[in-house]
Amino acid sequence: MASHRKSRSTGTRVAGIRTPALATAALTSVALLSQTANAAPSDDRPSLEEVEKKVDDLYRQAGSATEKYNAAKEKTSKQRKKVDTLLDDVAKRTQKLNDARTELGSFASAQYRTGASVPETATLLLADSPQDYFDQNQLMNRLTGRQKTAVDDYVTQQSETMKKRQEATEGLDTLTDSQNDLKTAKSTVQKKLATARELLSELTAEEKARLAAIEKKKQEEAARKAAELAKQQAAEEAERKRQEEAAQQQGSGSSSGSSESPTPGSSNGTQAQKALAFAQAQIGKPYVWGATGPGSYDCSGLTQAAWKAAGVTLPRTTYDQVNAGTTVSVSQAQPGDLVFFYDDISHVGLYVGDGKMVHAPKPGAYVREESIFYDGESSIYSVVRPA
């Protein structure tokens, strides 16, 4: 006879106790959920290296946006002055037009009082296009010499006034576009910096210490590169002098291996020394994007102010400063030269010598002297000698 007893499910034993299959599944799910919960923070959170890269990228993007802001600000300032001049001109020409209209009106009134019949003169004052009337030979033949002069003056003043009004309208449109570009660049800088600050604020004390150690290692490597460049430049200078002495001994009086560096006492050398002295005097002042001194600077604001102190006017932005002189190789860099960085030419420093420069690095930092290899040799875009 078949048994009616239900078969027992094959569970698992936990500590010698048989556990029902359903309970086993539940325990497994709990264990998996627990593991997932424990792993989530580490999986979602970026590594320290990723944070460092993101922050560096954000600072670079903010620097690039700062130069766009500087360019838009300069363009807006120039355009505003241009528009103000145009509006003043329009006001003056409008007054002259009104004076010419008044004079024509006086002729019409006089003719009316004396019974003269030149109704077209009065009519043209109300016309949208007086030229249509002036082109009629019969009217011009009936005007006196003084009246003809007044008519010609009216036509000229109206034409010039309309032209200037059109220029002012177009100028105002351009000014609006520049102001919008300025707002966009400003917003971009602020957003990039805010994101960078947020990322840094989430780091633990231990992570900040590790980040500082990474930065220190990068600085040590940059210093080593600077020392190598200084050694190379010293060797090249020694060779240049040797060749000069050899040429003088031969009586040639020329230097067969002279470098592109300014000779001591030359105008360029003196200006470079003044620019460098000014830049070094700013060390310790804070980086502030868009600033041109005297209390704070951004990178191009510092180099512009430094060379201005030497009597040389540089453009405001890195994009324009890079074209304001002669490009030389890194090994030929001399004190006072401008060192530009990154493919988008968004950073610049003033070369000191021995592979070092003075620059305004980034938000949260201060004007300082450090290796031109601070962000790696590949970050150097070019070296330019102003004046």
Query: Tens of pLDDT along 133-184?
Result: 555 444 555 556 667 777 777 788 888 889 989 999 999 999 999 999 999 9
Residues 41-61: tens digit of each pLDDT: 445 677 888 889 999 999 999
pLDDT of residue 31: 46
Residues 253-271: tens digit of each pLDDT: 544 444 444 443 345 689 9
Three-class SS state of 173: helix
pLDDT of residue 354: 94
pLDDT of residue 312: 96
Kindly state the average pLDDT of the residues 320-327: 96
Active site residue 347: yes
Residues 340-364: tens digit of each pLDDT: 999 999 999 999 999 999 999 998 8
pLDDT of residue 14: 40
pLDDT of residue 372: 97
Active site residue 4: no
**What is the DSSP code string of 117-150?**
--HHHHHHTT-S-THHHHT-HHHHHTS-HHHHHH
Share of the chain above pLDDT 70, in %: 73
Active-site hit among 299, 306, 322, 358: 299
Residue carrying the six token digits 């003196």: 270
pLDDT of residue 195: 95
In Å, how far from its chain's centre is CA 357? 20
The pTM score is: 0.70
Active-site hit among 347, 356, 362, 385: 347
Three-class SS state of 264: coil
Which strand (E) or helix (H) includes residue 203? Answer: none
Q: Which of 14-28, 98-112, 148-162, 206-220 shows the lowest per-residue confidence on average (mean pLDDT)?
A: 14-28
Residues 277-293: tens digit of each pLDDT: 999 999 999 999 999 99
Three-class SS state of 72: helix
81 pLDDT exceeds 80?
yes
129 pLDDT exceeds 80?
no
105 pLDDT exceeds 50?
yes
Active-site hit among 274, 359, 362, 385: 359
pLDDT of residue 108: 63
Residue 168 CB partners (closer than 8 Å, separation 6+): 83, 86, 87, 89, 90
Active site residue 359: yes
68 pLDDT exceeds 90?
yes
In Å, how far from its chain's centre is CA 232? 33
CA-wise closest residue to 63 among 315, 342, 379, 338: 342
pLDDT of residue 384: 98
What whole-number distance in Å separates Cα of residue 87 and Cα of residue 85?
Answer: 5
Mean pLDDT of the chain: 81
Q: Which of 80-84, 182-186, 256-260, 272-276 shows the lowest per-residue confidence on average (mean pLDDT)?
A: 256-260
Share of the chain above pLDDT 90, in %: 53
Tokens describing residue 261: 């560096």
Which strand (E) or helix (H) includes residue 381? Answer: strand 380-385
pLDDT of residue 13: 41
